[in-house]
């Protein structure tokens, strides 16, 4: 069984201003030894000079140039006029006496412009001044940056991802158990409407499930719960009683996504949202980056309750939710999602395959025994038994090789991958994520539920500030333990 993303088998991106002492240049790094702010002059040319704008616009500090000129009245005015003529905005400027030539000054200019505008500026500037160095960061003008696929920068933008459905839940193939059932098909259309009308921040609509749907759920629930004690990992079993207590997990009741989402938020920071059908791997994984799991709400057809060719609410609620409540598993899931943001189609497919063989069909070792943690296994009676039997081919999880394994949808997997723990799988995925080519790194900001792009030293400074605050708290706690407990 596949997740709510379409898998394809092998046969199927506010920077602050730079300064003279912080800019890195192609030929050399100039060290700031002091200087004056050329304030009024720059402002008259449409730029800014002080630290008041270093926190400024998104494009601040993208390009910079250092040039020298004679320390004479009017020379700087002439040079800066070229910036205005070429429509190059000045974000920040500094000056200092030149150590090279006694009667010259060196000017640092931090600007915002396109590649074409900057090149034209340099061509004209070199006729009037001596250009010492310039900086054109690769992540701004590289071909890779121009080709970075769109991805959500904040959690509310997931509406765009969740509504880009590749295959609606109401579109059934001819071999689907409910293909000829018009009542079932109409019911599926209702679930599509609910999901497509949902927007971030809204409560998830309550679903009044029919007696037939509840009966189908009950059959799946009863069969699987008999296997969980001997087949499911301990993290799954730990959360099961909590789901029974707080979300109404019972044989005669299908839990509501709103209750489940509230429960998950308190346990691991994850939430769920309804989805109308299959999403692309990129859109599905983007949700994980924000700790959002796209869930279907429809129930498989009653004529074959132990089989479904697509992820239904039985798969989501019984397979995924119990482990999404585990903090370590939640972090593992999120890191796969974060690694996908802005990645190439090829890399996203590799990540999706690793997701498939871990979060969907993964095995782990506990107390010397194989246990299942993959949702595709934990929601499939037949494959759960098979994966832990002697007939199954089991290999150690290694993203570098796993990412090339074919994902099978309608049959049992040819191979299953085992990890010693979620931590081990997470560390391996972290190393694998380093091989993904992106002109930036990403950092999830849990306070704003947005993604920060780490593409310069200032962005990294913000992350370091957060880490420093956390370390201060840890040091304070250790100090108190030492004082009051003698540790």
12 burial via Cβ count (<10 Å: 0-12, 13-18, 19+): exposed
Contact assessment for residue 42 and residue 80, using Cβ atoms and an 8 Å cutoff:
yes
Residue of 379, 380, 419, 441 with catalytic role: 379
Check if 27 is active-site: no
Residue of 320, 333, 383, 458 with catalytic role: 320
Strands 167-168 and 277-278: what pairing?
A: antiparallel
Taking the C-alpha atoms of residue 265 and residue 246, their distance in angstroms, rounded to an integer, is 13
- Please tell me whether 404 is known to bind a ligand: no
Sign of CA dihedral 45, 49, 55, 60: positive
Taking the C-alpha atoms of residue 20 and residue 156, their distance in angstroms, rounded to an integer, is 38
- Please tell me whether 484 is known to bind a ligand: no
Sign of CA dihedral 27, 32, 36, 38: positive
Residue of 98, 360, 380, 458 with catalytic role: 360
Taking the C-alpha atoms of residue 271 and residue 291, their distance in angstroms, rounded to an integer, is 6
Residue of 94, 315, 419, 458 with catalytic role: 315
The candidate with the shortest Cα–Cα distance to 88, out of 63, 105, 56, 108, is 63
- Sorted by sequence, the CB contacts under 8 Å of residue 206 that are 6+ apart come out as 256, 258
- Please tell me whether 207 is known to bind a ligand: no
- Please tell me whether 320 is known to bind a ligand: yes
- Please tell me whether 144 is known to bind a ligand: no
Tell me the CA distances in angstroms from 100 to 73, 103, 106, 132, 151, one per residue in order: 20, 9, 9, 11, 47
Instruction: Please report how many Cα atoms fall inside a 13 Å half-sphere around the Cα of residue 410, on the Cβ side.
Output: 3
Taking the C-alpha atoms of residue 358 and residue 372, their distance in angstroms, rounded to an integer, is 10
Check if 379 is active-site: yes
Check if 213 is active-site: no
- Please tell me whether 246 is known to bind a ligand: no
Taking the C-alpha atoms of residue 469 and residue 487, their distance in angstroms, rounded to an integer, is 23
Name beta bridge partners: 370.
Answer: 365
- Please tell me whether 206 is known to bind a ligand: no
Taking the C-alpha atoms of residue 368 and residue 355, their distance in angstroms, rounded to an integer, is 24
Check if 441 is active-site: no
Contact assessment for residue 206 and residue 256, using Cβ atoms and an 8 Å cutoff:
yes
Known binding-site residue numbers for Fe cation:
315, 320, 360
Known binding-site residue numbers for L-tryptophan:
278, 300, 308, 379, 409
Active site residues: 315, 320, 360, 379
Known binding-site residue numbers:
278, 300, 308, 315, 320, 360, 379, 409
């Amino acid at each position: 069984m596949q997740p709510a993303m379409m898998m394809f088998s092998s046969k199927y991106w506010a920077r602050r201003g730079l300064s003279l002492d912080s800019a890195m240049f192609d030929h050399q790094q100039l060290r700031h030894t002091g200087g004056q702010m050329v304030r009024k002059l720059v402002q008259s040319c449409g730029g800014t000079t002080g630290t008041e704008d270093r926190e400024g616009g998104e494009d601040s500090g993208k390009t910079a140039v250092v040039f020298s000129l004679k320390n004479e009245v009017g020379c700087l005015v002439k040079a800066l006029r070229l910036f205005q003529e070429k429509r190059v905005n000045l974000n920040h400027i500094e000056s200092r006496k030149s150590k090279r030539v006694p009667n010259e000054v060196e000017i640092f200019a931090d600007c915002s412009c396109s590649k074409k505008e900057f090149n034209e500026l340099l061509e004209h500037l070199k006729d009037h001044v001596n250009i010492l160095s310039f900086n054109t960061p690769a992540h701004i003008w590289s071909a890779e940056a121009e080709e970075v696929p769109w991805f959500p920068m904040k959690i509310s933008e997931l509406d765009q991802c969740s509504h880009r459905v590749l295959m609606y839940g109401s579109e059934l193939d001819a071999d689907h158990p409910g293909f000829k059932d018009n009542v079932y098909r109409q019911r599926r259309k209702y679930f599509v409407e609910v999901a497509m009308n949902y927007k971030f921040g809204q409560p998830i609509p309550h679903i009044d499930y029919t007696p037939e749907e509840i009966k189908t759920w009950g059959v799946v629930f009863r069969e699987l719960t008999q296997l969980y004690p001997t087949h499911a990992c301990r993290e799954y079993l730990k959360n099961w009683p909590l789901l029974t207590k707080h979300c109404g997990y019972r044989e005669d009741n299908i839990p509501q996504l709103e209750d489940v989402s509230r429960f998950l938020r308190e346990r691991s920071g994850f939430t769920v949202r309804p989805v109308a059908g299959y999403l692309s791997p990129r859109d599905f994984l983007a949700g994980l980056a924000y700790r959002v799991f796209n869930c279907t709400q429809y129930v498989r057809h009653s004529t074959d309750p132990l089989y479904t060719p697509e992820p239904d609410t039985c798969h989501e609620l019984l397979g995924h939710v119990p482990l999404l409540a585990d903090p370590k598993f939640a972090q593992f899931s999120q890191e796969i999602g974060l690694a996908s943001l802005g990645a190439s189609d090829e890399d996203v497919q590799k990540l999706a395959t690793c997701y498939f063989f871990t979060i969907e069909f993964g095995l782990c070792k506990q107390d010397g025994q194989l246990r299942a943690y993959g949702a595709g296994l934990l929601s499939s009676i037949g494959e759960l038994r098979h994966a832990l039997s002697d007939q199954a081919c089991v290999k150690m999880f290694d993203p570098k090789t796993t990412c090339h394994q074919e994902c099978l949808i309608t049959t049992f997997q040819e191979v299953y991958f085992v990890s010693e723990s979620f931590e081990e799988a997470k560390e391996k995925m972290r190393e694998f994520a380093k091989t993904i080519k992106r002109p930036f790194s990403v950092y999830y900001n849990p306070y704003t539920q947005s993604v920060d792009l780490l593409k310069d030293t200032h962005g990294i400074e913000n992350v370091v500030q957060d880490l420093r605050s956390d370390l201060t708290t840890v040091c304070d706690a250790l100090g108190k333990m030492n004082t009051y407990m003698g540790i």
